[in-house]
Amino acid sequence: MNAEQLRAPLERYAKSQGFQLNPDEKIVDFVIRGLRHNEQKFGHRYCPCRAVTGDPEQDRKIICPCAYHKDEIKHMGHCLCGLFVAKS
């Protein structure tokens, strides 16, 4: 899946959840490159801002969108990697 093919469902997901992709295109591009790299290396789109442990049950939590992003957006205005941000 190329970057644009990955970006579209991420945008739809963000919109459906009431937030948006980061307006800083450099950050979005960087995170998408990381997601694609992790998918090639590990077989899943693990968040590039999180460490892959090798424990499938633990690592399932960090597949983008990770288990932590909604709380991070609520408290910080963005998820840890900066891909998703609160709507402005």
Q: pTM for this one?
A: 0.93
Taking only the tens place, the pLDDT of each residue in 29-53 is: 999 999 999 999 999 999 999 999 9
Distances (CA, A) of 63 to 15, 44, 67: 19, 7, 8
What is the pLDDT at residue 3? 78
Cβ neighbours for 10, distance < 8 A, ≥ 6 positions apart: 21, 32, 64, 65, 83
On average, the pLDDT of the chain sits at 95
In the chain, what are the domain boundaries? 3-86
| Selection from 30, 43, 23, 21 nearest residue 3 by Cα | 30
| Selection from 15, 9, 12 nearest residue 86 by Cα | 15
Architecture in CATH of 3-86: Alpha-Beta Complex (3.90)
Q: Which residue bears the tokens 């049950």?
A: 57
